Structure 1
């Protein structure tokens, strides 16, 4: 596909939304329909389709790379667990082997016996004077040399017994391998086992890294520099490679953890890296950089450089004052004073106020309990009261007055009253050329919603063929249009009187549900919790008892990202301000602080665990509340993607959902 040309040059200066619309229109049309377009428009549509296809290919390749690395890490950790289970056998075998070696070297063993015998054989020779040795020589071989040779043979035989003992245990390499496995167990050192998992995929990963063009989204390019160094030594097959780059300076691997640095650097080999561990470290770090957005793929969409999508600073300055007033960060006339220090003081004041309110409300909060010894908070299990007799009578009366309706009838009625069916149509935006678009869209929604295939549904629904339903679903439906139709239903539901009896729409609950998928799906992963492959449908359910938005995400990802993402993509009139979540409900706010340096590091270095209290009290462990302070412990982490910012995170409002 790259042989067609650089599509980025073709699309230079064209809005991304227009490219997406044109590509969607071309994707929905077939050859017969494309022939009806004018040549210029047809060429534009196909060019946009090729451009989006190239982006999707790069997205899929990057996703497969990240998933493959994650799978290999998982297998390495499983292997480590298996080693832990088999630890006793390995340790006992090593102890037995070492005992045998000691017996061969100890007094009375073959090695010591050979040494004593060799010493006795050379004692007479060492005591003879030099003239006596010369007199005895008389042109023949010196007895001294003969005695020394015989002694060397005996001594070598003694030490050969030790070597034979080691060879009997599988050789020195086998012994070193077992020792390395035991060492990995004691230090939770799964990194040294990773290369054994990715070794067979080494060529594919290098080929993928060569096909894709990576770029750093910040000033920190250490991972990409290490990747370039690994690519330069791709043809190497030795145990070690040079630790010096093309410029003669040492390759910086300070981005890696201590375990990785311990595995990569051999203290006995100054200026060299252990090749296999270095390659495994680079692939692991690259996958992590892609997931966190610290590295981007040129020409991609999901892994694109987010910094290139930001507004220019000149445009931000023009709109900053009105924006700050609109979002409530400052009042009229205060925009000139708003800077990083002002924002930080404002945020600290709000955090202090929230902490003080939480402390003041704790005595009256019967559901929250803090252990006085450990300081660990916990929520009491909520037990619902039994159903009252009046509620049962109300339920019976509602069922008696509510007529039974079919699912197809419910869809048709809501489509008629809410008109959500008008959201669907061709990707071009033209009017649908269907005899009955209302009926066709309702039937297609029913078929797709019940997870039936078009041809299977055609056998049970008279008057429509499988081809017609497949045509409508592929060319008139899309995820964007479906979300717009859902927003119409949410808005209509919010206007009902009965929905206000449950809540006012200001609160939302966020949680995920496992969904079965095909195994050959890029989103499909094996869930540790559910024990089967699939994905997670992450829902945002309003307190009015209707789903606002749903994400479909892989198993095992950090769901906290999608808590905020779902709120941002919610286009309905219901705008919640409170999120009730489980343990993933962790709210992160990035605060600009250019002058901050942590541990003498440069901007952009990540600090994984830094705990600091607003009043200056530092805590190296768990989250605690100080009785003499009006603030609580918080967690800070420097952002690598935002070099001049520092993140403070605090627990969001969470309630027990299970």
Structure 2
């Protein structure tokens, strides 16, 4: 976090105006940035001064937004990590020390009987002998009470506060100096004011409470389990706000509001003001826009229609589920829902003959040959151009090097290993092509061209009519820790990257995207179904879950503004 903060301060030290590229299309600025990123300093110095300054300014502008997004994501993950580690630490301590005591009613009866029988006796002589196990049983009983309910929550909160104060506070407080948080909703203004209060007293030393005359903004996160911890009575009997606990609660509230974009960050891209996602004339053309969206202007009407639709679908699900012969719902440790395994489909009569003939004719085909044939038959590399807008490589040499680079990345072999295969292209030449030609947009265009060529080559007699439905789900791909995109995924139990796929029923992927392990797969599903870019008409998207398929009239890879909106 501190390293990223230093990067952001270094970029800001240049002094670029925040509205420098306001009137320039984002794609144009991104193209300038990509061109400046791949060119060496010696190449940049050869450009005329206006061009050189423009390219470098675009690079700094885009990097500033990226670093700001990175810092916001670090803030969200750090606040989450503090709470998660505190709960894990306390839970492990309690599990190791916890021993449940049975027969509490009998113990209480024996204690009461012994106390009444010898009211003048000592605890060690009268109470301990009355309980089976003596003093140890009573200690375990007290420990069990302390580890239940509110006591457990207070223990977690105390551990969380200590972890924040001793380690995480340094970075989080410094974030408040470099990031500017805002909100367009007055409901969440108290959180913004709370952050300002935290920043003002960040260097207050060992001050336990905020001064009595200070206005401490109250927000929703201060209630519930935190209410008793945030406020404490001092030695004079006055109810005060504990400074360190208030800081923890303020950062937790900030995390929650950032995730739903109720609070946004100035100068960010992903975490920018959500109002910028709408057309600037949306309010003036409200009726036209809502008509295009096929949504009512009245919010109450929209909610009523949605509630009626959900009620109908849930009632239908509730009525039909008990009648399904292949579904069994019962209480069990492995899961309440159990599906009867489907019977294996019989193998087509001629499938085995086709496999044998393919094996006889071609045997084992290397992946590089399959890639080469796909390139020659589809011409998918024709659209690949240099991000710097020029290039002196011939088409044949460029195609060969691109094939080798794609093979190196696709098989995880690596450019260094592929370069040693004796094909005449050096490692530096392959890395040069990778840096200047193989961008994410180019890879996506290659995949779209191959998918479209596959659709066009399919024979209707063999494959039937084209499909209008896709299935989508995520795949966790293991990756080395050194990979900058590697994340820990709690559900899959390992480190790697998460890829979200859209696959049509003939097993052809029409869209794939890299998503965060904590990202919403619903958003990824909608984006892929509506912006896949291929010639396929996607009308339905099936996802993992009990719900009905999402119906989507997204057209042939068109954006929402040129097709029926919504999924």
Matches within 5 A, 1:70-81: 70-81=80-91
Secondary structure, counterpart of 2:472 in structure 1: strand
Tell me, yes or no, if the aligned pair for 1:184 and 1:192 is still in contact at 8 Å: no
Tell me, yes or no, if the aligned pair for 1:84 and 1:185 is still in contact at 8 Å: no
Secondary structure, counterpart of 1:5 in structure 2: coil
Secondary structure, counterpart of 1:547 in structure 2: strand
Distance 1:586 1:522 in 2: 37
- Which of these residues, 238, 249, 255, is aligned with residue 287 of structure 1? 255
Output the TM-score relative to the length of structure 1.
0.66
Change in 2 beyond 3 A, CA 1:522/1:303: farther
- Paired residues in the alignment total 501
Secondary structure, counterpart of 1:4 in structure 2: coil
Change in 2 beyond 3 A, CA 1:480/1:262: farther
Larger radius of gyration: 1
Tell me, yes or no, if the aligned pair for 1:263 and 1:277 is still in contact at 8 Å: yes
Residue of structure 1 equivalent to 2:13? 3
- Which of these residues, 35, 58, 68, is aligned with residue 58 of structure 1? 68
- Which of these residues, 356, 380, 384, is aligned with residue 424 of structure 1? 384
Residue of structure 2 equivalent to 1:465? 426
Whether 2:232 is the aligned partner of 1:266: answer: yes
- Once the two structures are TM-superposed, the CA of residue 108 in structure 1 deviates from its matched residue by 8.1
Change in 2 beyond 3 A, CA 1:319/1:526: closer
Residue of structure 2 equivalent to 1:508? 470
Distance 1:50 1:509 in 2: 40
Change in 2 beyond 3 A, CA 1:363/1:288: closer
Distance 1:439 1:431 in 2: 15
Tell me, yes or no, if the aligned pair for 1:26 and 1:46 is still in contact at 8 Å: yes
- Once the two structures are TM-superposed, the CA of residue 365 in structure 1 deviates from its matched residue by 4.9
Change in 2 beyond 3 A, CA 1:301/1:522: farther
Q: Comparing both chains, which one has the higher relative contact order based on Cα–Cα distances under 8 Å and sequence gaps of 6 or more?
A: 1
- Once the two structures are TM-superposed, the CA of residue 460 in structure 1 deviates from its matched residue by 0.8
Residue of structure 2 equivalent to 1:31? 41
Tell me, yes or no, if the aligned pair for 2:499 and 2:514 is still in contact at 8 Å: yes
Whether 2:502 is the aligned partner of 1:536: answer: no
Matches within 5 A, 1:472-487: 472-487=433-448
Distance 2:366 2:536 in 1: 28
Secondary structure, counterpart of 1:390 in structure 2: coil
Q: Which runs of 5+ in 2 are unaligned?
A: 1-10, 102-110, 112-118, 124-142, 552-566
Change in 2 beyond 3 A, CA 1:450/1:522: closer
Change in 2 beyond 3 A, CA 1:506/1:208: same
Secondary structure, counterpart of 2:268 in structure 1: coil
- Which of these residues, 393, 414, 430, is aligned with residue 352 of structure 2? 393
Residue of structure 2 equivalent to 1:297? 265
- Once the two structures are TM-superposed, the CA of residue 195 in structure 1 deviates from its matched residue by 1.6
1:517-547 per-residue CA deviation (whole Å, 9 max, x = no partner) reads 3435554333334433222222222222112
Residue of structure 2 equivalent to 1:566? 528
- Which of these residues, 508, 517, 520, is aligned with residue 479 of structure 2? 517
Distance 1:183 1:348 in 2: 36
Tell me, yes or no, if the aligned pair for 1:83 and 1:181 is still in contact at 8 Å: no
Output the TM-score relative to the length of structure 2.
0.76
- Which of these residues, 413, 416, 422, is aligned with residue 455 of structure 1? 416
Residue of structure 2 equivalent to 1:174? none
Change in 2 beyond 3 A, CA 1:17/1:72: same
- Which of these residues, 175, 178, 193, is aligned with residue 159 of structure 2? 193
- Which of these residues, 450, 456, 463, is aligned with residue 489 of structure 1? 450
